[in-house]
A and B are shown apart, each in its own frame.
Chain A
Amino acid sequence: MNARGTVHKFGDNVDTDVIIPARYLNTASHKELAAHCMEDIDKDFVNKVKEGDIMVAEKNFGCGSSREHAPIAIKTSGISCVIASTFARIFYRNSINIGLPILECDEAAKEIKDGDTVSVNFDTGVITDETTGKTYKAEPFPEFIQNIIKKGGLIKSITE
């Protein structure tokens, strides 16, 4: 499994309230949520983002509320992968559970710039910034989590 796309870069402590503001939580429709993704931090995001693009942020990405609407909005907006220095723990869990690939890599998160073209190999954890030619190695998922992903998400892994 691989991802390749243009980078949308954000900073530290991007919280779930800016990823998808609570005023839109009166719906669970994936499409409606995606239409407001990142609205309070970057009004233009939904117009710029293309299928397959990659989101890069620094520390504590996805902090705050447990709303699964946040990774759902990001995934449905077309983002194929999120790379950050660290993730808030509920966001991390939710992303795995819904099948949004996320990778922790501090060096990549700090160095990759907005607009770079980046490719990611999920099997090896290798991140390549094609714009600068630099490669990075992210922590691969622990086996337990790889199993959840392989089975097609948490629910499938328990209902089997």
Chain B
Amino acid sequence: MGMTMSQKILAAHAGLDEVKAGQLIEAKLDMVLGNDVTSPVAINVFEENGATAVFDNTKIAMIMDHFTPNKDIKAATQVKQTRNFANKYDIKNYMDVGEMGIEHALLPEKGLVGPGCLCIGADSHTCTYGALGAFSTGVGSTDMAAGMISGKAWFKVPSAIKFNLVGKPQKYVSGKDVILHIIGKIGVDGALYKSMEFVGEGLKYLGIDDRLTIANMAIEAGAKNGIFPVDDITREYCNGRYKGTPVEYSADEDAVYDEECTIDLSELRPTVAFPHLPENTRTVDEIGEKEVKIDQCVIGSCTNGRITDLRAAAEILKDRKIAKGVRCIVIPGTQQIWLDAMHEGLFDIFINAGAVVSTPTCGPCLGGHMGILAAGEKAISTTNRNFVGRMGHVDSEVYLASPAVAAASAVTGYITSPEKL
């Protein structure tokens, strides 16, 4: 029986010729990731159990991004604990203020993940790297600790849903709209425990940043991972960047899928997820002109804080003003993205429009800092979750959208399609 792309990567890392859905395996890891929230828990587990060595100090990444630059004393204490651990074990990819960015923007950019690698991260959006043809999935802190000690993790081999993407998307339809559409269709548990494998001729219209956005939100459909085949777009991005040896896997012709689903990209419309679940989607055509008044607009996060996202927002905000009463916060994902955006003149556009630009951080995405909502407030955000209380008060609301829709909404003060400006 043929294997899916995800199954092939797992088999290779488990030293097996073949694996089947449901099989429990132990596989070797190429990268183990943690952040400032999950690393301290993993370090406690590591130390309480008397571990004295890490398996490989080049294959662990600790990225201080959620509450950094440290938002308060407790956050500073957690980062200090992680920094001390990283110093003690000489963790090569410990990244703090000055080097850090949002982990899932940073790891691909720095070439720490790439085609064919197997990565676990104590952060649910670790599934982002599937965009590069990696098997990558979120785990908890105990798994991270076990991974740091042994270089291995246990997996239940997932079955898969195949998404066949065809057609060319319209202007203003981005990777974010593709994944919001899919989640709206299959629901927040539509791919529970499974792989989402994206294939099809439509992939040629999706750049690496769009793919990273799509794979990033596989978890919002409950998936174990999302994955794209390796093509020229991937190779161009990873060549000279990926520090490991790229290995290109592809699904067998006779691979078995639980479901197959064709998505015609040309029919998609800019899409918004309403509170309080990413599956509550509506296209911009289904939202009334002055239906949803917003107080805040956030453009950033591991979903949409990359340079193409900032360019898309800048294209809308150029020579326009943000509506009175709307706070617009732009957060480039990494230091490099920040520099690129600055050199391209995007910051002039943002600041002239009345937006602010932050240093890289997760910040408001998880209600940490840098833009918390009060009771009754509404935000349009390019982030990935709109759960109750996610960006602040339990009675605040988050609407998820692409950078273009978010920027257009910041201009009018209501959720608005960029086509309407």
Contact = CB atoms under 8 A, between A and B. Distances in A.
Contact of A93 (B78, B123, B139, B149): B139
B242 interface: no
Interface string A1-44: 00000000000010101100111011110000000000011000
A15 B149 CA distance: 29
Contact of A17 (B44, B140, B146, B390): B390
Nearest to B221: A63
A158 B394 CA distance: 40
B222 A65 contact: no
A158 B150 contact: yes
Interface in A56-107: 59-60, 63-69, 71-72, 86, 88-90, 93-94, 97-98
B142 A97 contact: yes
B138 A66 contact: yes
B191 to A, nearest CB: 10
A22 B142 contact: no
Interface in B90-104: none
Interface residues of B, number: 51
Interface in B288-327: none
Contacts of B389: 17-18, 21, 40
A52 interface: no
Contacts of A60: 188-189, 192, 222
Contacts of A64: 124, 219, 385, 387
Given A66-B122, A156-B49, A86 B192 contact: yes
Contacts of A158: 146, 149-150, 152
A15 B150 CA distance: 30
A13 B277 contact: yes
Contacts of A156: 49
A64 B121 CA distance: 14
B161 to A, nearest CB: 14
B79 to A, nearest CB: 10
Interface in B194-230: 219, 222, 224
B45 interface: yes
Contacts of B367: 17, 21-23
Contact of B24 (A21, A69, A90, A142): A142
B74 A155 contact: no
Contact of B387 (A15, A26, A144): A15
A88 B192 contact: yes
Q: How large is the interface on A (under 10, 10 to 19, 20 to 34, 35 or more residues)?
A: 35 or more
B129 interface: no
A86 B71 CA distance: 36
Nearest to A17: B387
Nearest to B71: A26
Given A63-B188, A89-B193, A97-B142, A27 B277 contact: no
Nearest to B384: A64
Given A59-B189, A89-B192, A18 B140 contact: no
Contact of A23 (B49, B138, B139, B368): B368
A90 B136 CA distance: 13
A155 B138 contact: no
B154 A144 contact: yes
Contacts of B12: none
A64 B384 CA distance: 10
B140 A90 contact: yes
A18 B386 CA distance: 12
B236 interface: no
A41 B50 contact: no
A155 B388 contact: no
A69 B42 CA distance: 11
B143 A28 contact: no
Interface in A116-157: 142, 144-145, 153-156
B394 A68 contact: no
Contacts of B78: 26-28
B268 interface: no
Contacts of A47: none
B75 interface: yes
Interface of B: 24, 37-38, 40-41, 44-45, 49-51, 66-67, 71-72, 74-75, 78, 121-124, 126, 138-143, 145-146, 149-150, 152, 154, 188-189, 192-193, 219, 222, 224, 277, 366-368, 385, 387-390, 394
Given A22-B367, A66-B121, 16 more contacts: A17-B389, A17-B390, A18-B388, A26-B37, A26-B71, A28-B40, A28-B78, A64-B219, A68-B142, A93-B139, A94-B143, A97-B143, A97-B146, A155-B45, A156-B49, A159-B149
7 contacts: A25-B37, A40-B394, A60-B188, A63-B222, A65-B385, A66-B124, A94-B140
Interface of A: 13, 15, 17-18, 21-23, 25-28, 40-41, 59-60, 63-69, 71-72, 86, 88-90, 93-94, 97-98, 142, 144-145, 153-156, 158-159
CB-CB nearest 4 A-B residue pairs: A94-B140, A26-B74, A97-B142, A68-B140
